[in-house]
Every structure is written in structure tokens, then in C-alpha cells.
A and B are shown apart, each in its own frame.
Chain A
Amino acid sequence: MRKPWFDDEKALAAVEARGVDRRDFLKICSTFAAAMGLSQVPFAAGVAQAVEGAAAKPPVIWMEGLDCAGCSISFSGSLNPPAASVLLDSISLRYHEALMAASGHQAEAAFHDTIEAGGHVLIVEGAVPTADPRYCMIGGKSFEENLKAAAEKCAAIICVGACSSFGGVTGSMVCGGVGVSEIIKDKPIIKLSTCPVHPEHLIGTVLYFLATGEVPELDEHGRPVAFFGTNIHDNCRRRGHYDAGRFVTDWNDPAQKDYCLVTKGCKGPMTNSDCPVRLWNDRTNFCIDCGCGCHGCASPTFYEKMSPIFM
């Protein structure tokens, strides 16, 4: 287990030497630290230490099962910090099918060397097929077999997105997709269950783990309380209209554009996530802002129990 390192000045100097602005860095750290309920200064120092020690960069394996790569794309959209700096400075990404230079046997070798050595963080995108393992084959082996092998000596598992967390849209398909926790029972599993994963949920979780060596506090479904502890409806900017009984009936009416969407099928009241506060796409908006409503993608019962999506 890694302990936070308190030599702020040395650590921050090391961060600066890597071309990261000190103020930017501290701002990012304090945002995440606050979200995770941590004391900010030791957290920043811990992250800085993790960033500084290149040799100590934690090995990361990112596996894709029954997935759409949307979580990979979502993660790659992080601007502050830039996804490139996370990839090159903070972690040692040994295997990621959509990003790695290697193919075929080289990719397989990198995978096997890393899981043999152990101690890696295992990030999983996509569900595991239960109807028949042949619904997802990689390198001649089933995804389930690869997943079990990769999990054996890992430090922790981070499930990105709804599919690896709870099955997501694949749960009611022919393949019979289930979340990782249905297959792996003896490892700490952190579920970041929006569809797709929010880049800040992932980076915040990775930084927390780097700083503390520990899994953050999780809710009953295995999701970080810091990100999934609040109900969307409680934090919704349109809540006042709900309380006043004003609901969208016509998307063409500018007077209605901020009205409540519950009557159009919004699942905010039954969904926990910090979307209304954190927002998406560099604070551009979130699903309710664009007039469409929440569809409960963070929920353990997504998608089947969230259908019909609209009313």
C-alpha cells in the first residue's frame, strides 16, 4: 500500500518539471480531493509523488469485453487534466486494444507479462457474456478466461461504464452480458456505472487509488459515494419547475425549455449520480440540460428497467 507523501515542494517541483502548471495541478487535485472527501494538501502531495516517480507508475490493464469503446472515447475526452498526460505521466498503460501500438502476439505478450507480475490496476470496459463464452473471443481465448487471468493478481478492478458494472444494454441481449462482479468475487471492485463512464469519475478514482492505495468509500452497489451518493432529481436545475407542476409538453415552446421532463420519461428521480453538478463534456451540459431527460444509465437496473426511455 502506498502512503501519501507530504513533501509538497519537492513533489510539486517534479510535477512542474513535467510541464504541468503548478496552479492547474493543485486546482485539479483540490477538485478531486473535495469530491472524494479528502484533505486537499496531502492528497495533492500524494498524487504529485505518484506522478513524479516514473518507475513507480502503476501498471494498468484496460480490457474490453462486450463493449462499444464509448468509455475509452469518453475518457480520452478529458481536457483538464489532458488524457495524454494521464496516459503518459500518471500510469503505465500496458494493454488497451484501442490505443496501444502493439498488435497480435506483441499485444498478447504485454498482457501476459503484466498480469504475471501482478499488482496492476485492472480497468474493465464491457460486459461478460454468460450465454456462451464464444460471444467474445480475443487472442483465441474467451473474454471471461482472460478476465479471470487478469484479475488473479491485480490490486483492484475499476469497472468503467454500465456494461462492466451491471451488464448495461447487453444484459437483455442474446449474449447474456453481466457485470464483472458476477464473475470475480475476491477482489475489490469499483463501479463507475454511467453509460459511458464520466472521465472525471475514472480519473478521480485512479488518482485516489494512487494517492492512498485504497478503494474509496462505496455505496451498496459498489459505486463511489463521492460520485453516486446523490440523487439526480434532488440536484436538478429544473427541480423548481417540478415542484411547481410545470412540465414540458412541446419542445418548440421557448417558455417551456427549462421545464421538468418527468412527463417525457426522465428517470432522474430514480437515479443516483452527480451529473447535474459535475456536468459533461468540459461542463457543456448534461442529459437533462439538452431537453431530453435522464435515462437512468448509472442505475444498476439500466437498461431493461429504464425502458421505455421516453413517454
Chain B
Amino acid sequence: MGKQRITIDPVTRIEGHLKIEVEVKNGKVVDAWSSGTMARGFEAMLTGKDPRDAPYVTSRFCGVCFSVHQYASIMALDEAFGATVPWAGTLLRNLSMGAEYLYDHILHFYQLTALDYIDIMAIAEYQGSDAGLNAVKGKILGLVGAKDTFPLTPRYEPDEYCVKDPEVVTSAVKHYIDALAINAKARNMGAIFGGRTPHYQSLVVGGCTQYPDLNMVAKFRTMLDEVAAFIKDIYIPDVMAFGTGPLMPLAKAGLGGGHLNYLSYGSFMMDPEGKEKLWPAGFIKELDLDNMQAFDQQKITESVKYGWYNGSTAHPYDGKQEFNLDKKGAYSFVKAPRYEGASVEVGPLARMLVAKDPTLLDLVGKGVKPGVVARHASRAIETQQVVDACYKWLDLLTAEIVKPGFEIHDTDHWQPPAEGQGAGFFEAPRGALGHWIKVKDKKIENYQAVVPSTWNASPRDDAGVRGQYEESLIGCPVPDVDNPINVARIIRSFDPCLGCAIHIIDPDSNELKKFVVQ
């Protein structure tokens, strides 16, 4: 049997514009190409601007994970400005990021991926007496009766891995609807300290602008209680039920495993000096957990051989990169970052492996191999960790607020320095995120970001080694080329964020060559 090529364009239920092409032979994927198909050009635009614009503007990389870009950006500015953030300022930042995590992971599971794992039409068979589930059944049957089931259909045909039990499916759809409201409440919770959201306002270089009081703490805590209950009672049980039930064969087969290289920058200061972090940094090569390596940002290089750029492989801050839409052989706006030359995965699975999280390792012990199911499980595990951390941060913030003269901002370092540079590293919901800034004459001389989906969604590098999306698709079962549901499952398990992944360097600027991070 010959090869058949399938193109999925657009890949939906992700952030941004993504095209996936796969070659299928004998019912399995034998080759794959991941293409980011949109570019705007943030960094070049920032050149010459007031450095304090950067967090505000780079938040617009992505309207889903806006806050993490703002955070990485202000951390880069903190260093460049020489600012010392008061502990209360860090706690306000942490709580604002925590709210982002809680909404973002729930959104990913229910709104962006759950429809790949259920046969929604099984709802018609629900015969139970639960009033809430019957209301969902009535709503869906009403849509069916009116011959208008958009946007729930059309869809890929359900396969043997889809949950078809009417009660489970009806519950899942109810949770889908409930999750929209919980997401909104989690974002509203973030707005208490972060300001209007999406796109927070109060996070600035040196700290925060929102002067907090104990009413705000109490409001946040009350809203957190509701979100936390949903996570504990609904979200985590759903993920575990799906993952260890109908999806167990996929989990044991390690569907979507890919290169098995994992990178985490580590995140969330748990004390004023940042000695302890919620998640550690580290690099794992070929799943060798016993030989964890320390993270060293000098080991990052970027290849553009298959990207619509001129230039050659270099450390991202040394390379000369020019935009080239007509380049032969190129197929993506995403660059190809590599760590020690390796194509790596970043995100929840990488974080939980680097942290040697006992819950994940327990699942691995039960036969769950790194891949689609392990990714969903890792996301659920760390969501609970963020909930627990948010309660801690609220207590710590309360202890700060009651101190006379407590501070939230380094007022002495608000104005841009004549010269300076800095880097901000953060673990975004989708993985390792870095922003770098260089300031000259109080303006931005250069700005760079290497974001999670650039790592995961990258095209091939100079050596022809596939990016992690591409590699994770190899061997993916596609029994019916008209219904490549497993391909979609693998890609969505990464939680793609293509708006973030793509940035363009000004083709007329050679400034990048001079950009060196200490």
C-alpha cells in the first residue's frame, strides 16, 4: 500500500493558526510536518519603544496565556532596571499567575480537547434521573431536533477510544458547560490583583500597582474555594477516569511520546529570595530520570533552515535572522530551538518529570508511558499544586499586608535606565518561556522571546531532526485517512499556542548580532 498524505488545516481548538501534514502508510503515520501559518512581528516593533511598554505589548502575544508573557517580560525588566521587587509584590504577581493557570488548564481539558474523547450523541441514551444531566440532555436534544448542532458538529467520527457510556458523556458535557463559568470566575479572581483580564494591567516593572487590602484577599480566597472545589471534585476525577479507563490502551502504548527529551526552567518563588520554587528547573535526555541535568540557557540554539527566515543556527541572541517568505523548502513561521542540539518537549509533562512528581511516577509505574494521556494527567496534577500554592500565597500576603508600611513596588527604579539588560524565565502553562531585553538610551534596543510552543511546534532543524509535535506523530494509528482523530488528539494534548510561537525579526536590523545575555 502506498503512502497517503493528510493535511489538517486549520487545526482547531487551539490558540493561533496551525497546519499539520502527515504521511500515512499501512494505517500509521510515517512522517509529519508542523506549520505555523501566522506571523505578526512583535519584537521588531518594540525596538525604540519605552521599555515599560514591553510587558503591556507582549501580553498580546496570546490572549489565552497573556499573563505569563507579562510576567516573563517584567522579570526581564526588573533585572534591566535593577529593581528589587518587594515580597508582597511578588505574591501579588504569583496569585495573578496562579489564577491564569487554574483557568487555562481547565479550559484546555474541557473546551479544547474533551470533544476528542467523547461520543457526544450518546447523550440521547441517558436514562438516569439526575436533574442537571437531564437538563443537558434536553438542551442537546433540542439542538438535534432543530437540526442545528453547531458548534458541536461536524466532528471526526468517534472511534473505539471515545467514551460512549451515556452517563459519563452527559456528565462530561455538563462539565464542559460548567467549566466555562468556572474559567470565567478564575479569571475574575485573577483580576482582583492583576486588573482587567484578559491582558492584566497591574503587573509592572518593580512590582504591582494594585494596592491590596484584606477584603481583596478574602474575595480571592472565596472565589478560589469555588474553583478549587471544581478542580478537586470534577476536573481531576474526569481526567483520571478518562485516562485510566477507555484511554488506558493509548496510555500504555505511549501514543504521542515523541523524542522523550524534557526541559523545564522552574517557576514560582515560594520565599522572598527565591531559594525555593514550586517547580524545579532541569533537563532530561531520553527519559533518563536518574541523570537530570541543570538548566543552562547558554545551551539554547535556534535553527531556521525550515523556517521562513534567512540565517543560520545560532544562540538566539547572537544569530542574524532575516525574514524570507519566498524561501525554498521552508514550511513554518516557527523557528526550531534546540537544547544541547536536542529537540525537546516543554510543558506540564516536562515539569512533572523534572520535579519527579510522585503522582505522575505512580501512573508511570502502572504502565502509563509519556505521551498524550500522561500530558493530560500532568496538567491535572500540577493544577492541584497551583491551588495549594495559591492558598499559601494568600496567607503569606495577609502576613505582609498587616505589617505597617508594607510595600508592593520599587518606586526608586520606575524610570528606565540609560543602559541595561535582563532576562526573565518562567514556566507558562504550556511550558518554558523566556523573554530578553536590552535597553539603550532609555529605549528598547532589542527584544527577544523564546516561548513554549516554539519548542514544541518547531519544524525540522539543520540536521533534519523533527520538532516534538512532528516526532510525537510518528507511528500514530490512522486506520481511516478521512478521520485522523488520533492526530488531533496528539497535537491538542500539547495545548498548542501558535500566537505565542511566532515572532519576526526585523530583516533590516543587524542588532541581534550584538545581543548577548550574560
Interchain CB contact (< 8 A) of B53 among A94, A110, A139, A308: A308
Which chain B residues numbered 367 to 417 have a C-beta less than 8 Å away from chain A? 405-409, 411
Q: Distance in Å from the Cβ of B492 to the closest Cβ of chain A?
A: 9
B438 CB-CB contact with A under 8 Å: no
Instruction: Knowing A54-B146, A68-B60, A97-B12, say if A284 contacts B188 (CB, 8 Å).
Output: yes
Whose C-beta in chain A lies nearest to the C-beta of B41?
Answer: A174
Chain A positions 89 through 115: 1 when the CB is less than 8 Å from some CB of chain B, otherwise 0: 100111111111111101101100000
A contact residues around B499 at 8 Å (CB)? 67-69
Given the complex of chains A and B, what is the CA–CA distance between A71 and B290 in angstroms? Answer: 44
Q: Is the CB of A84 within 8 A of B183?
A: no
Instruction: Knowing A68-B66, A70-B66, say if A292 contacts B198 (CB, 8 Å).
Output: no
Interchain CB contact (< 8 A) of B208 among A55, A196, A251: A251
Q: Interface stretch among A165-173, A178-186, A215-223?
A: A165-173
A140 CB-CB contact with B under 8 Å: yes
Interchain CB contact (< 8 A) of A138 among B37, B142, B156, B199: B37
Q: Interface stretch among A40-48, A75-83, A205-213, A227-235?
A: A75-83
Q: Is the CB of B151 within 8 A of A252?
A: no
Instruction: Knowing A88-B143, A252-B408, say if A174 contacts B155 (CB, 8 Å).
Output: no
A177 CB-CB contact with B under 8 Å: yes
Instruction: Knowing A94-B150, A252-B409, A257-B211, say if A174 contacts B45 (CB, 8 Å).
Output: yes
B125 CB-CB contact with A under 8 Å: no
Q: Is the CB of B15 within 8 A of A101?
A: no
B475 CB-CB contact with A under 8 Å: no
Whose C-beta in chain A lies nearest to the C-beta of B211?
Answer: A257
Highest count of chain A CB atoms <10 Å: which of B60, B115, B199, B484 = B60
A9 CB-CB contact with B under 8 Å: no
B52 CB-CB contact with A under 8 Å: yes
A25 CB-CB contact with B under 8 Å: no
Chain A positions 242 through 281: 1 when the CB is less than 8 Å from some CB of chain B, otherwise 0: 0000000111101001000000000000000000000011
A203 CB-CB contact with B under 8 Å: no
Q: Distance in Å from the Cβ of A162 to the closest Cβ of chain B?
A: 9
B contact residues around A110 at 8 Å (CB)? 150, 154
A136 CB-CB contact with B under 8 Å: yes
Which chain B residues numbered 172 to 190 have a C-beta less than 8 Å away from chain A? 177, 180-181, 183-185, 187-188
Whose C-beta in chain A lies nearest to the C-beta of B52?
Answer: A310
Q: Is the CB of B209 within 8 A of A102?
A: no
Given the complex of chains A and B, what is the CA–CA distance between A84 and B178 in angstroms? Answer: 9
Whose C-beta in chain A lies nearest to the C-beta of B184?
Answer: A77
Q: Is the CB of A101 within 8 A of B155?
A: yes
Whose C-beta in chain A lies nearest to the C-beta of B140?
Answer: A88
A6 CB-CB contact with B under 8 Å: no
Given the complex of chains A and B, what is the CA–CA distance between A291 and B37 in angstroms? Answer: 38
B contact residues around A72 at 8 Å (CB)? 63
What is the interface residue range for chain B against chain A? 35 or more
B456 CB-CB contact with A under 8 Å: no
A contact residues around B185 at 8 Å (CB)? 79, 282
Q: Distance in Å from the Cβ of A2 to the closest Cβ of chain B?
A: 17
Q: Is the CB of B188 within 8 A of A195?
A: no
Interchain CB contact (< 8 A) of A99 among B13, B64, B198, B507: B13
Instruction: Knowing A103-B8, A292-B204, say if A175 contacts B57 (CB, 8 Å).
Output: no
A157 CB-CB contact with B under 8 Å: no
B contact residues around A195 at 8 Å (CB)? 60, 199
Q: Is the CB of A137 within 8 A of B38?
A: yes
Given the complex of chains A and B, what is the CA–CA distance between A95 and B504 in angstroms? Answer: 28
B270 CB-CB contact with A under 8 Å: no
Interchain CB contact (< 8 A) of A172 among B45, B184, B211, B411: B45
Q: Is the CB of A103 within 8 A of B10?
A: yes
Q: Is the CB of A103 within 8 A of B135?
A: no
A contact residues around B150 at 8 Å (CB)? 92-94, 100, 110
A16 CB-CB contact with B under 8 Å: no
B contact residues around A286 at 8 Å (CB)? 195-196
Q: Is the CB of A174 within 8 A of B323?
A: yes
A contact residues around B196 at 8 Å (CB)? 280-281, 285-287, 290
Residues of A within 8 A of B (CB-CB), count: 84
A13 CB-CB contact with B under 8 Å: no
Q: Is the CB of B411 within 8 A of A102?
A: no
B11 CB-CB contact with A under 8 Å: yes
Q: Is the CB of B151 within 8 A of A94?
A: yes
Instruction: Knowing A83-B180, A137-B37, A281-B191, say if A70 contacts B198 (CB, 8 Å).
Output: yes
A contact residues around B112 at 8 Å (CB)? 98
Q: Is the CB of A173 within 8 A of B50?
A: no
Whose C-beta in chain B lies nearest to the C-beta of A194?
Answer: B196
Q: Is the CB of A281 within 8 A of B154?
A: no
A32 CB-CB contact with B under 8 Å: no
Given the complex of chains A and B, what is the CA–CA distance between A308 and B120 in angstroms? Answer: 50
Given the complex of chains A and B, what is the CA–CA distance between A190 and B312 in angstroms? Answer: 45
Instruction: Knowing A281-B196, A290-B194, say if A173 contacts B41 (CB, 8 Å).
Output: yes
A contact residues around B16 at 8 Å (CB)? 69
Q: Is the CB of A137 within 8 A of B17?
A: yes
Chain B positions 411 through 429: 1 when the CB is less than 8 Å from some CB of chain A, otherwise 0: 1000000000000000000
Interchain CB contact (< 8 A) of B180 among A66, A84, A94, A132: A84
Instruction: Knowing A77-B184, A281-B188, say if A55 contacts B146 (CB, 8 Å).
Output: yes
B511 CB-CB contact with A under 8 Å: no
B357 CB-CB contact with A under 8 Å: no
Show 18 residue pairs from A and B whose CB-CB distance is below 8 angstroms, ordered by the A residue.
A19-B135, A54-B145, A54-B146, A82-B177, A97-B12, A98-B112, A102-B153, A102-B155, A103-B11, A134-B325, A137-B17, A138-B17, A170-B40, A250-B411, A281-B196, A284-B191, A308-B52, A309-B50
| Smallest CB-CB A-B distances: 9 pairs | A70-B63, A174-B41, A290-B195, A291-B209, A54-B146, A308-B50, A173-B41, A68-B63, A104-B8
Residues of B within 8 A of A (CB): 7-17, 19, 37-42, 44-45, 49-50, 52-53, 56-57, 60-64, 66, 86, 111-112, 115, 120, 135, 138-139, 142-143, 145-148, 150-156, 177, 180-181, 183-185, 187-188, 191-199, 201-202, 204, 207-211, 323, 325, 405-409, 411, 484, 488, 499, 504, 506-507
Residues of A within 8 A of B (CB): 18-19, 54-55, 57, 64, 66-74, 76-79, 82-84, 87-89, 92-104, 106-107, 109-110, 132, 134-140, 143, 168-170, 172-175, 177, 195-196, 249-252, 254, 257, 280-282, 284-287, 289-292, 295, 303, 307-310
